[in-house]
Amino acid sequence: MAAFGFNRFGLLAHLVSGKARSRFQQLVVLGAVLTGAVLAGAGQAMPDGRPTPSGQPVPRWLSLKSNEVRARFGPGLDYRILWEYRVPGLPVQVVAETTEWRKICDPEGGVAWVHRSVVSSRRSVFNASEAEIPIRSGPSETAAMRARLTPRSVVAMEDCEEGWCEVRIRRMRGFVRQRDVFGGQDRALCNAARPAGRGR
């Protein structure tokens, strides 16, 4: 099991048209498809009600791609760098976004802007506590313990259901309690309206 330390400041439907179909029928079908597309995207909105530029829900989980990710005060290269993340795979929660930038919440409650190119849709979870977390063979407190997730460690995650998250370490798969790890929560963990910076 690989363990990674986390120190933020350690520099830190397709339309079927045929000759037999009337123009009216084609328009009805087209209208239904367009309405469906609009309704499908209606749930992808930011906290202030505006649609998300990416079409993805907010909040949502992503992970950092590299071991050097600059966190900025605002969505642009002209904003000052607040700190650097040096933990590849670290889960972060997107709480707001622009076309090119993502406003994220980190395990320490910090809020910052990062470019969309430095985050991945691959899911992971992080043990933000100082205690080991049991990785069990099944989604139950009585399931056998297969391994332990050490403090300040990152591990790949498949999905969370009914209070348990399925994790993967190389070829081994197991389950951790959803409430014990950072990266599996459904609710927003940071206020999207809060300015970038440290603390909750």
What pLDDT, on the 0 to 100 scale, is given for residue 37? 35
What does the pLDDT average to over 170-198? 94
Supply the pLDDT for residue 51: 87
Q: Give dist(CA 183, CA 181) in Å, integer.
A: 6
State which H helix or E strand residue 41 sits in.
Answer: helix 23-41
- Region 60-84: what's the mean pLDDT? 97
- pLDDT (average), residues 147-157: 96
Beta-strand (E) ranges in the chain? 60-64, 69-72, 81-85, 91-97, 101-105, 111-115, 119-120, 124-126, 133-136, 145-149, 154-161, 164-169, 172-177
- Residue 149: CB atoms within 10 A of its CB come to 25
Coil, strand or helix: which one is 40? helix
* 106-139 pLDDT per residue, tens: 999 999 999 999 999 999 999 999 999 999 999 9
In this predicted structure, the answer to whether residue 195 has a pLDDT above a threshold of 60 is yes
Instruction: Find, among 163, 127, 85, 123, the residue nearest to 1 by Cα.
Output: 127
pTM for this predicted structure: 0.76
| Other CB atoms within 10 A of residue 107 CB | 22
pLDDT recorded at residue 1 = 39
- Amino acid 129: pLDDT: 94
Q: Which residues lie below 8 Å from residue 11, measured CB to CB, with a gap of 6+?
A: 84, 86
Domains and CATH numbers, the chain: 19-123+183-200 (2.30.30.40), 126-180 (2.30.30.40)
